[in-house]
Amino acid sequence: MLYHPLLTHGLRVAFRGAAIAMLCALGACSTTPSVQAWEKGNLARPEMGFERDALDAKFTDHIYFSKEAASGGTGVGGGGCGCN
């Protein structure tokens, strides 16, 4: 592998420049204001949720996490037997 001091110096300068540019870009993203509840309009309505029926969604989650043998997936204790 070719080792040259100017080559490694150039790579360091380029890496520093890229790091500074990325930090500036991320810093600019943090200045966006958060959306308040009254600004959401129709998106905050319960009808706009992913699941139409809350009971059905809870039941589906229970079945899924029982089959996957995961404990605590939806905030209930127990193992994969489905007898919670």
- Is residue 36, in this structure, part of any structural domain at all? no
Angle at 14 between CA 8 and CA 15, to 5 degrees: 90
- Is residue 70, in this structure, part of any structural domain at all? yes
Flag whether the pTM goes above 0.75. no
Rounded CA separation 46/19 (Å): 43
- Is residue 30, in this structure, part of any structural domain at all? no
- Total number of domains in the chain: 1
**Contact present, 84 and 62 (Cβ < 8 Å):** yes
- Is residue 65, in this structure, part of any structural domain at all? yes
- Is residue 84, in this structure, part of any structural domain at all? yes
- Is residue 62, in this structure, part of any structural domain at all? yes
Write out the residue range of the structural domain in which residue 84 sits: 53-76+80-84
pLDDT in tens, the chain (84 residues): 556 666 677 888 889 999 999 998 888 777 777 888 788 888 777 777 777 788 888 888 888 877 766 555 555 555 556 555
- Is residue 19, in this structure, part of any structural domain at all? no
- Is residue 67, in this structure, part of any structural domain at all? yes
